[in-house]
Amino acid sequence: MPFSSILETPRLTLGPARPGDADQLFINYCGDPACGTFLQRKPHARAAQTAAMLEKWSNAANAQQAASGAPFAWVIRERVADEAVGVFVVIPDAHKVEIHYGIAKRLWGRGLLTEAADAAVSFLRGMAGVERIWTVCDVDNDASRRVLEKLGFQREGLLRKWLKLPAYGNAARDCWVFSSVATDEAASKPC
């Protein structure tokens, strides 16, 4: 998988974690309760938790694992400030790739997450053997749903009682499942 690939957009860079990213991500994303509303984890209480997450998902020490198909994450950075502001997680499973993403609250509503996701999804679509890119989002997560729709993902259906989100307590919540498959891409290209 493309662990070491660096993706650039007009306003962002997606790439492996670098020294200092944990502190920036903790402040900008991982420690912010607003950013954790629709996550399966509580907001990080300390930057050390964010550092451990990066070690698991994005650290250069895991490059060999990622190359062999293990899950990984790109760190999303603002290009001008060169500041870590979010993550884009990729979980490969044979011909399927599951994705998850998030960005700093102060950047919401500016199209930056759509920009980052478009770059990552376009890259993944171009990889040999990838036939399905998919994810779920809580039925109340309108922002994530809109990002997926802008990317051309199709809503496949409702997964009842699919996720437990700490921000909502112990009850499992319903989620929409979205996907983009190879035939969707061919059908959606302009003539």
- In the prediction, which pLDDT does 3 show? 53
Mean pLDDT, the chain, integer: 88
Cα–Cα distance measured from residue 174 to residue 54, given in angstroms and rounded to the nearest whole number: 28
Could you read off the pLDDT of 135-162 as tens digits, one per residue?
Answer: 999 999 999 999 999 999 999 999 999 9
The angle at the Cα of 54, spanning 141 to 76, to the nearest 5 degrees, equals 55
Which H or E run includes 102?
A: strand 96-103
Spatial distance between the Cα atoms of 98 and 83, rounded to a whole number of angstroms: 26
In the chain, the domains with their CATH numbers are: 7-188 (3.40.630.30)
Give pLDDT, residue 11.
97
CB count, 10 Å around CB of 141? 18
Q: Tell me the CB-side half-sphere exposure of residue 120, using CA atoms within 13 A.
A: 34
pLDDT range class, residue 67, cuts 50, 70, 90: low
Q: Annotate 20-34 with b (16+ C-beta within 10 A) or e (fewer).
A: ebbebbbbbbbbbee
Proportion of the chain above pLDDT 90, given as a percent: 75
Query: Which pLDDT score is estimated for 68?
Result: 59
Inter-residue contact 74 to 82 (CB < 8 Å)? no
Q: What is the pLDDT of residue 31?
A: 94
Q: Phi and psi of 36, rounded to 5°?
A: -95, 5
Assign 182 a pLDDT band (cuts: 50, 70, 90): confident
Please write the tens of the pLDDT for every residue from 50-64: 999 888 886 544 454
pLDDT (mean) for 69-98: 92
Percent of the chain predicted with pLDDT > 70: 88
Q: What is the pLDDT of residue 5?
A: 81
Mean pLDDT of 62-73: 64
Sign of CA dihedral 117, 104, 155, 150: negative
pLDDT digits (tens, 9 = 90+) for 19-59: 889 999 999 999 999 999 999 999 999 999 999 988 888 65
In sequence order, what DSSP letters do the residues of 10-68 get, joined into one string?
Answer: SSEEEE---TTHHHHHIIIIIT-TTTTTTSSSPPPSSHHHHHHHHHHHT-GGGHHHHHT
- Predicted model pTM: 0.88
